[in-house]
A and B are shown apart, each in its own frame.
Chain A
Amino acid sequence: GAVVSQHPSRVICKSGTSVKIECRSLDFQATTMFWYRQFPKQSLMLMATSNEGSKATYEQGVEKDKFLINHASLTLSTLTVTSAHPEDSSFYICSAEHREGGTQYFGPGTRLTVL
């Protein structure tokens, strides 16, 4: 089956530092990757859409200078939370759209805690 990995699974950092989260499609090429944010007991909120080699498209209200997205290849996208603050603490989940068929597969998520 199609597998998407995320690294790290958990990260704790101090306020003001930057954190990078990697999303990889392990056994397929992804046309597009998506980044979501999920608060406890809530649904997934789309943050941005990225295509390989082009700039990410951010949803309204998501600061592109704070949440930097790089999509370097058809199997790797990274989300960098810059100058993280406690309100950035959340569960970040990526998904990758299979190049053949268009099914979206989700990563296991990254729990970010900013102290």
Chain B
Amino acid sequence: QQQVKQSPQSLIVQKGGISIINCAYENTAFDYFPWYQQFPGKGPALLIAIRPDVSEKKEGRFTISFNKSAKQFSLHIMDSQPGDSATYFCAARVNTGRRALTFGSGTRLQVQP
């Protein structure tokens, strides 16, 4: 099973609040979990990524929490800003063979001023 399930589909957060996006996967062979940010009409940009040997990774206002036993991982955006308004995609990949990313369905985040 290659599917990665992402929720919520859309999210509205007030400026300064915390945005939380969740993903779940089935394939236990996945060993690399990146998050991408995409603005309209642009390609996805890598935000932050984690491997299953750690439970949390923080880069600036962005944090990934990873729960290997539950096969879930989430993105937390602290102090959300209007400039963070974009679509966010989680993804997963196995480290052998084709190495293509399997993407979640995306979350449209709107940060209100």
Which residues of A line the B interface, CB within 8 A?
Answer: 4, 6, 32, 34, 41-44, 46, 49, 57, 91, 93, 95, 97, 102-109, 111
CB distance from A12 to the nearest CB of B (A): 15
Residue of A nearest to B105 (CB): A43
Question: 4 closest pairs, A vs B, by CB?
Answer: A106-B43, A109-B43, A108-B43, A106-B44
As a 0/1 sequence over residues 71 to 113 of chain B, the CB contacts with chain A under 8 angstroms (1 = contact) are 0000000000000000001000001001111011110100000
State in angstroms the CA–CA spacing of A4 and B32 once bound together. 21
A109 touches B46 (CB 8 A): no
Q: Please pick, from B41, B89, B95, B106, the residue contacting A109 in the complex, using a CB distance under 8 A.
A: B41
B49 at the interface (CB under 8 A from A): yes
A34-B43 CB under 8 A given contacts A43-B89, A43-B106: no
Inter-chain pairs besides A49-B98, A106-B36, A106-B44, 17 sampled, C-beta below 8 Å: A43-B104, A44-B101, A57-B98, A91-B41, A93-B44, A95-B43, A102-B32, A102-B95, A103-B34, A103-B46, A105-B46, A106-B43, A106-B46, A108-B43, A109-B42, A109-B43, A111-B41
Task: Give the chain B neighbours of A46 by CB distance below 8 A.
Answer: 100-101
Number of A-B contacts (CB under 8 A): 51
Residues of A within 8 A of B101 (CB): 34, 44, 46, 95, 104
In whole Å, how far is A92's beta carbon from the nearest beta carbon of chain B? 10
State the CA gap A43–B46 with chains docked (Å).
15
Residues from 19 to 63 in B contacting A, C-beta threshold 8 Å: 32, 34, 36, 41-46, 49
Chain B residues, Cβ within 8 Å of A44: 44, 89, 101, 103
Are B99 and A32 touching (Cβ within 8 A)?
yes
- CB<8 Å pairs between A and B, sample of 24: A32-B99, A41-B108, A42-B105, A43-B89, A43-B104, A43-B105, A43-B106, A44-B44, A44-B101, A44-B103, A46-B100, A46-B101, A49-B98, A57-B98, A93-B43, A95-B43, A102-B99, A103-B34, A104-B34, A104-B101, A106-B43, A106-B46, A108-B42, A109-B43
Chain B, Cβ-Cβ closest to A97:
B99
